[in-house]
Amino acid sequence: MRRRGRRWAGLACAQAGREGVARLGVGAGGSRSPVGRRESRRCWCSPRGMEGTAVAVCEVDEKPTILMTDSLVIKNFLRKIVMVHPKLSFSLLCRAENEPTLNLLNGIALVVNYQHYVSRPEFGTSELFCSRIHPVLGHPIMLFIPDDVAEMGLSRELILTPAAALCPCPKVFSNQLNRISSISIFLYGPSCLPLISPSQEQPTTTVFKDTFHFIDWKKYHLCVVPNLDLNLDRDLVFPDVSYQVESSEEDKSQNMDPQGQTLLLFLFVDFHSGFPVQQMELWGVHTLLTTHLSAILMESHSMVQDSIEVAVDQALEQHHQAAKAHQKLQTSLSVAANSIMSIVTGSTSSSFRKICFQALQAADTQEFGNKLHKSFREITQHRFLHHCSCEVKQLLPEKNDAEQSTEDAHENSNLELLAGISKQVKNKRLRRGSLRQGVEDKQAFHSARAPSPSEAAPRPAEPTAASLTPSRAGPGRDLEDALWLQEVSNLSEWLSSDPGP
Amino acid sequence: MAFAPMGPEASFFAVVDQHRASLLAALRSGGGEPAGGGVRPASSSEVLASIENIIQDIITSLARNEAPAFTIDNRSSWENIKFEDSVGLQMVSHCTTRKIRSDSPKSVKNFALILKILSMIYKLVQSNTYATKRDIYYTDSQLFGNQTVVDNIINDVSCMLKVPRRSLHILSTSKGLIAGNLRYIEEDGTKVHCTCATAVAVPSNIQGIWNLITDAKFLLIVEKDATFQRLLDDNFCSKMSPCIMVTGKGVPDLNTRLLVKKLWDALHVPIFSLVDADPHGIEIMCIYKYGSMSMSFEAHNLTVPAIRWLGLLPSDIKRLNIPKDTLIPLTKRDQMKLDSILKRPYVTCQPFWRKEMEIMADSKMKAEIQALTFLSSDYLSRVYLPNKLKFGGWI
């Protein structure tokens, strides 16, 4: 601990099993605003290191108010690290040990417990959500380095791999439509170290100030604005960029979940080459990226845009399926109610009209119409439209009997949806999407490895459903395939315009 | 009839007349006349009351906070079909049903569309106006998606209310043609005079036609329009006068079937069918004769079990030495269709049909009517059909 108007706090960080980041230096200084200038605090890795351990050194101010803010910044910095280095254990603040992770194709093990990313859903609704997020990868793309940045010593090729996920992931889609309420972007550099800008003048996230720069949100019917209302003091991973999705009038009028979902977007920047990287170089590049990431991403703008779009498209696919199903239900119920209204109001039989009005306890035609629409809405209030694919996975037989029976009891009303389509799916061979990927429960640390040239080379956008490392194999696979196909069939059924006879 | 052209001598139709006499005798003995049942024409007030009852049930369910559902007879299952020689295929009285629920993602749209069409029928019946299925589809083509959806729902509604389509004030567009020795008056008073030279369209309101006048010795159902036109060109109707020819241009629409049924009921003249010697042709002939599974609930108004298979018989191919290179191998789909027909209940009472189908199955070949043109360009009208009619070559 040193005193120079600021304190330096050393944090021991243990990493079991393999070499990785040897020493971490985390510094916080400059700005005193808790939120708006958080990027001005410095965070770095020390090149010096010992195998299996790391030390985080934090520079903090002694003034109580600033100390508290700085501590929160450090906490969030560490939290971001453990999200992709779950084997790391920071005894002071952050642990993600024994957390479920998903091994991404690029060797990153991402913690998938949704409670790290968003607040718990409202009381009574948590059972409707999957406990995990289901990230999908975009294409890894090679980044062009601007000349001026290259001259600063960035001689290696870098690749960007985006991953996107909706959080929390609904287990089932009911007739209450989930809306996307916010977007959180997380930036990681080589070795999956968070990219946090050391100075306010050159923030890492400049390029993301324009919400439309890399993603055309109109395509997803989202009205996105920067989120200025950020609170560091929450037990959540703090995003580097946060957008808020404004509710449309239509959303307000419809049966929308007020809390909403968050679209998580992870941007992993790493070395392209498969050659080993010296710690010095790693840290040098990390430092350069914290100041020049925006310029680098701008240089490869269209490729970055394509890659992110592929990931976001896939992450939102199920959301869109649910939205379409919801729309279909609303349209159908409206047609049904209007048709009944047409018959009742057009009838010349006063006894018929009287019986109808009495049944719904309506005094006049207008009240009858309102009650009719309301009744139709209410009877479908708790009906599930379709399953989330992660929920299908949970029906797999590898669970123990007790768990399975609980699931079955819980899912009774939903299974009937699957039962009706079991025949249809036998011959279907639909492409398996990444959502079906299992979640790795083993706690292996995966350093960011350089992918092969074929993985990393820039290429036109195409679905990357297989981007995630398959984590489940063996006898259960066939059943999983069948259940997955059932699920896809269920979705396609909803999209079909022909209701059939 | 004064307008009848000169046909063959009276003795030419001796066997046809004999056949007619046997049909009439069967009718008199009661063995050939349908017992009635199934759907029956309903008055407008009955249709309106039926729809109101359905709506009342739905509202009662909603008031109880229960999801309303339609229960509809399952028209697409052979389990629900019984065969009666005198009627054809008809629905069993206690058939299995399917539920169209308002709270199921699979059926909610169908539930809504049934209500939509019920409300349209309600208005049509109230205002005593008629619409075609196509008209209904075009009232909201985006909602319905395609014509088949409308067609199926109308059939479901007809089956659910147990009234024929006509009573729902829904007409089907006719595609069939009629020619020959026949006159009738349509509901609106229009006098129709069919001739042997040109065809007239089958009317869309078969129930409304009246004052049918004919001297026809027989009615020939021709599967395909091309063959029908060729027979007209060859002046077949005149040569075989007095006769009537009808084509449904492939699978017959409802009006063509209703017309054939009406002609049979009114005239009781022998009805023969001329179809390709392939499974598809046999299937079409079976629809005229025994009805289809999906419309089995209305079989009593549509089927004519007295229809006989005149040609082209698979056995004719060998008998007439039709060149093998004019024959077409049965496809896998043909074979499946043939197997399916052979398993149908009515085949058991048609041993000669079974034999013909077995000949086709054994030879693995099929033949179109046009195969006869390889013998002679007008072989069909000049030799094949006259001989068949003269010597009773039907089964």
Q: Give the pLDDT confidence of A124-133 residue by residue, as tens digits.
A: 555 667 778 8
- Judged against a pLDDT cut of 50, whether residue A315 lies above it is answered with yes
**A-B contacts at Cβ under 8 angstroms:** 128
Own/partner contacts of B227-234, CB < 8 Å, gap of 24 or more, are B227/B274, B227/B369, B227/B370, B227/B380, B228/B177, B228/B179, B228/B199, B229/B199, B230/B380, B230/B381, B231/B380, B231/B381, B231/B385, B232/B179, B232/B196, B232/B197, B232/B198, B232/B199, B234/B378, B234/B380, B234/B381, B234/B382
The reply to whether residue B123 touches residue A342, judged by beta carbons under 8 angstroms, is yes
Most confident of A90-94, A162-166, A272-276: A162-166
What's the pLDDT at A252?
A: 57
pTM score > 0.80 for this model? Answer: no
Does B194 reach chain A within 8 Å, measured CB to CB? no
- 10-residue stretch averages of pLDDT, chain B, 395 residues long: 67 90 84 53 88 95 91 78 73 81 87 96 93 91 92 90 87 89 90 91 88 93 94 91 93 91 92 95 92 75 89 91 89 92 85 92 92 90 93 92
Does B145 reach chain A within 8 Å, measured CB to CB? yes
Which pLDDT band, with edges at 50, 70 and 90, does A359 fall under? very high
Residue B262 is classified by DSSP as H
- Judged against a pLDDT cut of 50, whether residue A303 lies above it is answered with yes
Strands (E), chain B: 69-73, 81-84, 88-91, 97-101, 131-132, 170-171, 177-180, 182-185, 191-194, 200-201, 210-213, 218-222, 243-247, 271-274, 308-311, 328-329, 365-366
Q: How far apart are CA B222 and CA B272, in angstroms?
A: 9
Residue B38 is classified by DSSP as S
Contacts of B63 in chain A (CB under 8 A): 359-361, 375
Portion 118-137 of B in contact with A at CB < 8 A:
118-119, 122-123, 126
Does B116 reach chain A within 8 Å, measured CB to CB? yes
- The more confidently predicted of residues B76 and A403 is B76
How far does A253 lie from chain B, in Å, by closest CA? 22
Does B152 reach chain A within 8 Å, measured CB to CB? yes
**What average pLDDT does range A24-49 have in this prediction?**
39
Q: How far apart are CA A98 and CA A104, in angstroms?
A: 18
Does A419 reach chain B within 8 Å, measured CB to CB? no
The reply to whether residue A343 touches residue B119, judged by beta carbons under 8 angstroms, is yes
The reply to whether residue A349 touches residue B52, judged by beta carbons under 8 angstroms, is yes
Q: pLDDT tens digits for A442-499?
A: 332 233 333 333 333 333 333 333 333 333 333 344 444 444 444 444 444 444 434 3
- Judged against a pLDDT cut of 60, whether residue A170 lies above it is answered with yes
**What average pLDDT does range A256-271 have in this prediction?**
81
The reply to whether residue B105 touches residue A500, judged by beta carbons under 8 angstroms, is no
The reply to whether residue A372 touches residue B62, judged by beta carbons under 8 angstroms, is yes
Nearest to A339 among B119, B153, B156 (CB): B119
Tokens found for residue A124: 């009574």
CB atoms within 10 A of CB A153: 12
Contacts of A344 in chain B (CB under 8 A): 55
The reply to whether residue A340 touches residue B156, judged by beta carbons under 8 angstroms, is no
What's the pLDDT at A256?
A: 56
Portion 227-266 of B in contact with A at CB < 8 A:
none
CB A325 within 8 A of CB B100: no
The reply to whether residue A340 touches residue B63, judged by beta carbons under 8 angstroms, is no
- The more confidently predicted of residues A86 and B285 is B285
Residue B2 is classified by DSSP as T
ipTM of the complex: 0.71
CB A319 within 8 A of CB A388: no
Does A405 reach chain B within 8 Å, measured CB to CB? no
How far does A418 lie from chain B, in Å, by closest CA? 11
Q: How far apart are CA A497 and CA A318, in angstroms?
A: 18
Which residue of chain B is at minimal alpha-carbon distance from A348? B126
Amino acid at A282: L
Nearest to B122 among A328, A346, A501 (CB): A346
Q: pLDDT tens digits for A233-261?
A: 667 778 888 888 887 666 555 555 567 88
Which pLDDT band, with edges at 50, 70 and 90, does A500 fall under? very low
Contacts of A331 in chain B (CB under 8 A): 109, 112, 143
Nearest to B65 among A333, A379, A383 (CB): A379
Amino acid at B231: L
Contacts of A372 in chain B (CB under 8 A): 59, 62
- Judged against a pLDDT cut of 60, whether residue A381 lies above it is answered with yes
- Judged against a pLDDT cut of 70, whether residue A20 lies above it is answered with no
The tally of CA atoms less than 13 A away on the side-chain side of residue B244 is 28
What is the percent of chain A with per-residue pLDDT over 70, rounded to a whole number? 49
The reply to whether residue B146 touches residue A336, judged by beta carbons under 8 angstroms, is no
Strands (E), A62-206: 89-90, 101-103, 109-111, 129-130, 136-137, 141-143, 158-167, 169-170, 172-174, 180-188
Tokens found for residue A266: 């992870």
Portion 346-375 of A in contact with B at CB < 8 A:
346-349, 352, 355-356, 359-361, 372, 375
How far does B44 lie from chain A, in Å, by closest CA? 13
Contacts of A381 in chain B (CB under 8 A): none
- Judged against a pLDDT cut of 70, whether residue A48 lies above it is answered with no
Does A418 reach chain B within 8 Å, measured CB to CB? no
The reply to whether residue B113 touches residue A343, judged by beta carbons under 8 angstroms, is no
Tokens found for residue B359: 């000949």
CB B372 within 8 A of CB B312: yes
Which pLDDT band, with edges at 50, 70 and 90, does A430 fall under? very low
- Judged against a pLDDT cut of 60, whether residue A434 lies above it is answered with no
- The more confidently predicted of residues A172 and A50 is A172
Does A378 reach chain B within 8 Å, measured CB to CB? yes
Q: How far apart are CA A45 and CA A287, in angstroms?
A: 9
User: Angle at CA B281, nearest 5°, toward B278 and B286?
Assistant: 125
CB atoms within 10 A of CB B251: 14
What's the pLDDT at A453?
A: 37
- Judged against a pLDDT cut of 90, whether residue A380 lies above it is answered with no
Q: How far apart are CA A160 and CA A307, in angstroms?
A: 9
How far does B166 lie from chain A, in Å, by closest CA? 20
**What average pLDDT does range A258-281 have in this prediction?**
79
Hey, of A328, A330, A332, A377, which one would you mutate to test binding to chain B, going by the most B CBs within 10 A of its CB? A332
The reply to whether residue A385 touches residue B105, judged by beta carbons under 8 angstroms, is yes
What is the percent of chain A with per-residue pLDDT over 90, rounded to a whole number? 12
What's the pLDDT at A439?
A: 36
The reply to whether residue A501 touches residue B145, judged by beta carbons under 8 angstroms, is no
Portion 49-88 of B in contact with A at CB < 8 A:
51-52, 55-56, 58-60, 62-63, 65-68, 76
The reply to whether residue A379 touches residue B103, judged by beta carbons under 8 angstroms, is yes
What's the pLDDT at A493?
A: 45
Nearest to A328 among B52, B67, B109 (CB): B109
The reply to whether residue B62 touches residue A359, judged by beta carbons under 8 angstroms, is yes
Most confident of A95-104, A169-178, A365-374: A365-374
Task: Give one word for B347, left, alpha or beta, with left for phi > 0 and alpha for psi -120 to 50.
Answer: alpha
What's the pLDDT at B282?
A: 94
The reply to whether residue B102 touches residue A376, judged by beta carbons under 8 angstroms, is yes
How far does B373 lie from chain A, in Å, by closest CA? 42
Q: How far apart are CA B321 and CA B394, in angstroms?
A: 19
What's the pLDDT at A249?
A: 62
Helix, coil or strand: residue B392: coil
Does B105 reach chain A within 8 Å, measured CB to CB? yes
User: What positions of B carry a catalytic annotation?
Assistant: 138
Which residue of chain A is at minimal alpha-carbon distance from B127? A346
Q: How far apart are CA A158 and CA A458, in angstroms?
A: 11
The reply to whether residue A342 touches residue B145, judged by beta carbons under 8 angstroms, is no
